Structure 1
Amino acid sequence: MNGSGSSSEDKHQNGYQVAIDIKDDCCIYKVPMKLRNINNDAYTPQIVSIGPYHHDQEKWDDKQSKKEWKWDDMQKRKKIYQEEFLKNNSEKDKIKDFVKEEEQRIRDCYEAKFDFGSDEFIEMVLVDAVFIIELFLRYHHDKDDTRDFVLSKPWLSNAIKLDLQLLENQLPFYVLERLYMLAYGSSTGESFLTLSCKFFGYKEPGEEAKKIKHFVDLRRHTMLVGVEIDPELPKSPGGKIEDLPSAVKLHESGVKFKSVKNKDAVKPGESRRKCKLDKEKSLLKIEFGKREDSCIPRLRADVLKIPHLKIEDDTECLFRNLMALEQCHYPFETHICNYIDLMDALINTSKDVDLLVDNGIISNCVGDHDSIKAMFNRLCLEVTPSTSCYDHICDGLKKHHGKWWNRTKATLISVYFENLWRGTGTVAATILVLLTLLQTIQRFYPELFTRPK
């Protein structure tokens, strides 16, 4: 693709044969309008523009005058970073030559064509790339006594961190990595991938790092590590989950919900050289099976294990951009979309959210539970997921819910054995009834209790 304006998904759906060429590097897309119309702000940078899609946005954005931090403020900050970078670096000529040589390939990384002249395009890439590299290095070496202007303002650095994870706001990862190596080599002691993961707060994806195309793709790779995808899973659209009972209904049929602690985020002070995602605790690793903590097989409950998810103000934005990437670049491997689709199926009302929160699966940092319900119910609008990697789990849940005995057993347990005291009372009452029954039978049929001579 040379910025033809159509996504890979559109080409597949229209029956075109897409020839895969080694020079075909398209990976940074304009978000489809059907997705943007649902939540435009989720795909639009608010503080810093990176790459050509939103370059010089301050010239046409009427909202800029109302913002506390304006685009031109960040452009000035970029220039400051660039001046310090060039002043302290002897490889500036090699850096600029590299961008010149790679100009066409960099342009090919974008779905759309741009009218920027060669000099303007090269300068834009250099300024934005230097800003990102310098920001990551300053974050890596950050000390309280010499704090950077941006890093000293948490609200600003968090806003920039979010902007750098928007699909339209990207530079090719290989460009950043190469410029970093030309400028610093191994003198910093860390790879650019490590600096990136440290800045965003998640662990390195290991061998998958070779396939990373940009920061949104990096985030997707970190979420997929440790998730076992069936290689024979059909690569076709139309994988939306249907007729799956909600979390409350499944709970009423005896399904137990268990939270699995997610190790996706890097803890402060943790070694970055060992930043590999725990394969057992990836966010997308959902499992369904029998609970093994009961010595009586018939009493073993079916358990749905879901990794812990913390819902914050930027959660919807991050998920939307990941899903947009999959819709455009991975139309038949929409594993993030499948995950959201499953969560959407489980959450129909605020009571479903209550259940998941009570079981430690969701942490609510945004307020009322209705907002979480609304978020999941809206995330899959206008999204076409591929065949779900959770089909086998959904089939198991449907079969479990469809058995009348499971619902009856769950009702009996919830009514008569909800807690220790009620369970003890139920057992005592049952024993009392049995003794009374035996006494009554003995009274009317004493011969049954008399040993024959």
Structure 2
Amino acid sequence: MEQDYRNCYEEHIDMLSDEFVEMLVVDGCFIIELFRKSAQVPIVDDPVIHKSWMRTTLINDLLLPENQLPWMVVECLFNLTQDTTAGNNYPLSLSLPVLTLRYFKESTLGMDPKVNGTFVNKHLLDFIKNSLLGSYAVKNEFDRSSWSPIPSATNLKKAGVIFRCGKKDDMLNIIYKNNVMKIPPIRIHVNGESLFRNVIAYEQCEPIGISKFTSYAVVLENLIKCEDDVELLTESGIIVNSSGCDIPLLMSNLTSDVRVYNFSYSKLYKKVNAHYLHPFTRFLAPYRRIVEDPLSFFNFAYAVVAVTLFTFIQTIISILTYQRPV
């Protein structure tokens, strides 16, 4: 089994057998004990569990790509240390995937991540990524052709696109149909940028495939260019900012110097751009702004009524003063 664990690492591990096994056991047992204790009522004098800053630091460290421990190691140790006499005694009866998700649940980007049994998990970061993918994990539709960025959320709204909140358990499943874009809600928290960066970095290191999270980050970066975009998506229930960070800057930083292989939203982009660039859409844009702005709409309606009334009065006067030629 030791060789199987060594094969999980890309680089050669220059450690003696005993040292290597000891490292795996110590790290694995720490993770398991952390998850189990966190599922219980926290002990006040336990700095690892009780201190919020410690929890934030631990989550950041546990999800760094370079700190990953093979999932099979954690799973093996978990099974060896599980109390088989616990029965339904909470939390000893919880499985490793459920315990893991409970620990990270409030620190993930998704609103309702679930244990995803579609893939075999490689490590903790891979587990979190798979839990956020939801049903999107099995969707491999993409267009290899080139794609152009879409306008920001506020510009799309001016073009008649309506933003609505999608299903919260399907984070990456963005849908565009009949000028309505449904985006599942995303929670931006203290660990948000770190988690986003780690998942994207992990995707960049994987064999060339569909960069689903990287593609998702590109969509958010295109839609969110300023605070007006953030406000629009927040009002739609799509963004929940619990960190108070500068979201436009965050999204811009996430996608800088990142390559996207097989962009997974290219078909959606083509539909959105086709609507936005259509001549009829551009023709209606000024009138949409008038209707959306109450003051502009009032002034416009007042002007229409005034002109109509003036024309009507002028017509009546012309009729009354008309003299039939003798």
Q: TM-score, normalised by structure 2?
A: 0.83
Residue number in structure 2 paired with 1:259: 165
Listed as ranges, the matches of 1:32-431 within 5 Å are 102-144=1-43, 148-184=46-82, 186=84, 187=86, 188-201=92-105, 203-208=113-118, 211-227=120-136, 230-233=139-142, 241-260=147-166, 262=168, 278=169, 282-290=170-178, 302-367=179-244, 369=246, 372-419=247-294, 423=297, 426-427=300-301, 429-431=303-305
Asked whether the 8 Å contact 1:331–1:385 carries over to 2, the reply is no
Q: Report the alpha carbon displacement of residue 158 of structure 1 after superposing the two structures with TM.
A: 2.3
Counterpart AA for 1:433: V
Counterpart AA for 2:65: L
Whether 1:441 and 2:315 are equivalent positions in the alignment is yes
Distance 1:347 1:434 in 2: 42
SS in 1 for 2:117: helix
Residue number in structure 1 paired with 2:108: none
Asked whether the 8 Å contact 1:129–1:176 carries over to 2, the reply is yes
Q: Report the alpha carbon displacement of residue 316 of structure 1 after superposing the two structures with TM.
A: 1.5
Q: Report the alpha carbon displacement of residue 173 of structure 1 after superposing the two structures with TM.
A: 1.0
Distance change >3 Å, CA 395–CA 174, structure 1 → 2: same
Asked whether the 8 Å contact 1:167–1:216 carries over to 2, the reply is yes
Distance 1:396 1:197 in 2: 36
Q: Report the alpha carbon displacement of residue 143 of structure 1 after superposing the two structures with TM.
A: 4.3
Distance change >3 Å, CA 245–CA 316, structure 1 → 2: same
Say how many residue pairs are matched: 310
Counterpart AA for 1:287: I
Distance 2:138 2:35 in 1: 33
Distance change >3 Å, CA 154–CA 182, structure 1 → 2: same
Distance 1:229 1:194 in 2: 21
Counterpart AA for 1:402: L
Distance change >3 Å, CA 417–CA 440, structure 1 → 2: farther
Structure 2 unmatched ranges of 5 or more: 87-91, 106-111, 321-326
Q: Report the alpha carbon displacement of residue 440 of structure 1 after superposing the two structures with TM.
A: 2.5
Asked whether the 8 Å contact 1:171–1:214 carries over to 2, the reply is yes
Q: Report the alpha carbon displacement of residue 403 of structure 1 after superposing the two structures with TM.
A: 1.9
Q: Report the alpha carbon displacement of residue 307 of structure 1 after superposing the two structures with TM.
A: 2.3
Q: Report the alpha carbon displacement of residue 196 of structure 1 after superposing the two structures with TM.
A: 0.6
Distance change >3 Å, CA 366–CA 149, structure 1 → 2: closer
Q: Report the alpha carbon displacement of residue 212 of structure 1 after superposing the two structures with TM.
A: 1.1
Q: Report the alpha carbon displacement of residue 309 of structure 1 after superposing the two structures with TM.
A: 2.3
Q: Report the alpha carbon displacement of residue 118 of structure 1 after superposing the two structures with TM.
A: 0.7
Counterpart AA for 2:117: E
- The percent of aligned pairs where both chains have the same amino acid is 30
Asked whether the 8 Å contact 1:138–1:148 carries over to 2, the reply is no
Distance 2:155 2:116 in 1: 39
Distance 2:14 2:204 in 1: 26
SS in 1 for 2:122: coil
Distance 1:162 1:219 in 2: 13
Distance 2:318 2:17 in 1: 106
Distance change >3 Å, CA 398–CA 220, structure 1 → 2: same
Q: CA RMSD in A?
A: 2.9
SS in 2 for 1:150: helix
Asked whether the 8 Å contact 1:229–1:389 carries over to 2, the reply is no
Q: Which moved more, 1:177-186 or 1:387-396?
A: 177-186
Asked whether the 8 Å contact 2:114–2:134 carries over to 1, the reply is no
Q: Report the alpha carbon displacement of residue 192 of structure 1 after superposing the two structures with TM.
A: 0.8
SS in 2 for 1:304: strand
Distance 2:50 2:137 in 1: 41
Asked whether the 8 Å contact 1:416–1:422 carries over to 2, the reply is yes
Counterpart AA for 1:391: S
Structure 1 unmatched ranges of 5 or more: 1-101, 263-277, 291-301, 447-453
Q: TM-score, normalised by structure 1?
A: 0.61
Q: Report the alpha carbon displacement of residue 408 of structure 1 after superposing the two structures with TM.
A: 3.4
Distance change >3 Å, CA 425–CA 229, structure 1 → 2: farther
